[in-house]
């Protein structure tokens, strides 16, 4: 039985492989649930000048659109804080993110999100 979830946030990077994260969010979702997709780029990152990264974001945008979700791209040097604020603003119940290299107990990004979003379930999708 799926948990009662109304708002799901998917954290993506500028890689086409993040489609698997969106698909995982779809597995968790039920009719009436909302899926939000976010990519936070540091202020000095120039992803639109990079053909591969721009193409990947456009690809992910197409996937988001096909499932009725929005892909939001934000700029911030405080990536965790920006995701946390976005999650609060959108009343997120579940956050889906990709697995980083290494053990989660050593993953600063995961720990920071978990500490700030203690009432949000975080599901890490393995590579």
Identify the architecture of domain 7-125 in CATH.
3-Layer(aba) Sandwich (3.40)
Is the pLDDT assigned to residue 48 strictly greater than 60? no
pLDDT score of 82: 97
List the beta bridge partners of residue 36: 9, 70
From start to end of 1-127, where are the E strands? Answer: 7-11, 34-41, 70-75, 94-98, 121-125
3 state SS for 38-51: EEEECCCCCCCCCH
| Nearest of 13, 2, 1 to residue 93 by alpha carbon | 2
DSSP 8-state secondary structure symbol assigned to residue 27 = H
Is the pLDDT assigned to residue 27 strictly greater than 80? yes
Based on the number of CB atoms within 10 Å of its own CB, is 3 exposed (0-12), middle (13-18) or buried (19 or more)?
exposed
pLDDT in tens, 63-114: 999 999 989 999 999 999 999 999 999 999 999 999 876 555 457 888 899 9
pLDDT score of 106: 55
Q: Where are the domains of the chain?
A: 7-125
Evaluate whether 79 touches 73 at the Cβ level (below 8 Å). Answer: no
Q: What is the mean pLDDT of residues 16-20?
A: 90
pLDDT score of 44: 80
Is the pLDDT assigned to residue 7 strictly greater than 80? yes
Is the pLDDT assigned to residue 46 strictly greater than 80? no
Per the prediction, the chain carries an average pLDDT of: 86
């Amino acid at each position: 039985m799926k948990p009662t979830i109304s708002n799901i946030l998917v954290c993506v990077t500028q890689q086409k492989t993040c489609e698997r994260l969106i698909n995982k969010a779809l597995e968790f979702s039920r009719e009436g649930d909302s899926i939000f997709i976010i990519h936070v780029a540091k202020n000095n990152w120039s992803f639109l000048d990079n053909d591969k990264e721009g193409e990947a974001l456009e690809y992910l945008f197409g996937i988001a659109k096909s499932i009725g979700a929005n892909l939001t791209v934000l700029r911030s040097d405080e990536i965790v804080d920006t995701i946390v604020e976005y999650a609060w603003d959108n009343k997120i119940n579940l956050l889906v993110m990709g697995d980083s290299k290494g053990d989660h107990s050593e993953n600063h990004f995961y720990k920071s999100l978990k500490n700030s979003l203690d009432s949000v379930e975080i599901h890490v999708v393995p590579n």
